[in-house]
Amino acid sequence: KQEVTQIPAALSVPEGENLVLNCSFTDSAIYNLQWFRQDPGKGLTSLLLIQSSQREQTSGRLNASLDKSSGRSTLYIAASQPGDSATYLCVATGGGNKLTFGTGTQLKVEL
């Protein structure tokens, strides 16, 4: 059974700082690894999707890496802004297109 864990659970940083969110998963037999963002009381926004054959994906100030063999993924956010404040979810896709969500990292970027 796939389990996805995210560290830290919560993070508060000053504006402009670079930061790394960590994700680990127990079953390396995944099709892809996604990072989502969820704003309070709102839906899910897909940020990056890394296929199992890929090592990383980049979008703007975001960079996500994937190491299947070690069961790890990281989300790097450069030059953080207050608008980046949200909960970030790491999600592993397994057989049957089943998504297993991580526990989430609640990020607060302060002025």
Partner 1 sequence: DTAVSQTPKYLVTQMGNDKSIKCEQNLGHDTMYWYKQDSKKFLKIMFSYNNKELIINETVPNRFSPKSPDKAHLNLHINSLELGDSAVYFCASSQDVRGGASYNEQFFGPGTRLTVL
Q: Point out which residues bind partner 1 (CB under 8 A).
A: 31-32, 34, 38, 41-44, 46, 49, 51, 87, 89, 93, 95-101, 103-104
CB of 82 to partner 1, least distance (A): 21
The beta strand positions in the chain, using DSSP E, are 4-7, 10-14, 19-25, 32-38, 44-51, 56-59, 62-67, 72-77, 86-94, 98-101, 105-110
Name residue, tokens 């390396």: 28
Taking the least distance from each CB to partner 1, the nearer of 22 and 103 is 103
> Residue 28, Cβ neighbours under 10 Å: how many?
14
Which is nearer to partner 1, 16 or 95 (by Cβ)? 95
The one-letter code for the residue type at 98 is K
70: Cβ–Cβ under 8 A, 6 or more apart, which residues?
Answer: none
Of 19 and 99, CB closest to partner 1: 99
Decide whether 92 or 109 has the Cβ nearer to partner 1: 92
Kindly state the smallest distance separating residue 103's Cβ from partner 1, in Å. Answer: 7
CB of 44 to partner 1, least distance (A): 4
